[in-house]
Amino acid sequence: MSSDNPLKDKTVLVVEDDLMALHNLSRLIGFRCKKVYQAKNGKEGLENCAKYQPDIVVTDLEMPVMSGMQMLETMKDQSPQRPVVVVTAFDDEDHLVPRADAVLVKPLQKNDLFRVLEEVSCK
């Protein structure tokens, strides 16, 4: 990793119920970040966030057990300074996420993902 990579010392928790998407997103982020942790739903996301204390959280919204929105609200109540990036297939007003630090619409563009991760990591 080059020294101009602002993500090189960051840890990221990826929360996604689609296992293929979880694997692909984690692998992609792992190329630029120090460590990537994974969770398959919002409940597991909260548990892994408490356990690993990641610098950034990247989450889907629509998940079983606990939605990404419920998880995000709890995370922001506990650690408002931790950036949370929402990745969703929805871009309508019914799916606004006011407490998210950024929202990316699927399908993800790699450059957009890294630009947003770099932006939120500097907050």
Query: Residue 2 domain-assigned?
Result: no
Confidence of residue 1 (pLDDT cuts 50, 70, 90): very low
Specify the amino acid at residue 68: G
| pLDDT tens digit sequence for 81-95 | 999 999 988 765 555
CATH number at residue 37: 3.40.50.2300
The Cα 14–Cα 93 span in angstroms is 24
**pLDDT recorded at residue 95:** 55
> What torsion do the CA atoms of 95, 96, 97, 101 make, to the nearest 10 degrees?
130
| pLDDT tens digit sequence for 69-123 | 899 999 999 999 999 999 988 765 555 677 899 999 888 899 999 999 999 998 7
Name the domain count of the chain.
1
Q: Is 41 exposed, middle or buried (0-12, 13-18, 19+ CB in 10 A)?
A: buried
Query: Residue 15 domain-assigned?
Result: yes
Query: Residue 93 domain-assigned?
Result: yes
Mean per-residue pLDDT, 34-41: 97
Q: Is 121 exposed, middle or buried (0-12, 13-18, 19+ CB in 10 A)?
A: middle
User: With contact defined as beta carbons under 8 Å apart, do 25 and 16 qualify?
Assistant: yes
Query: Residue 5 domain-assigned?
Result: no
- Give the residue numbers spanning the domain of 80: 11-121
Query: Residue 41 domain-assigned?
Result: yes
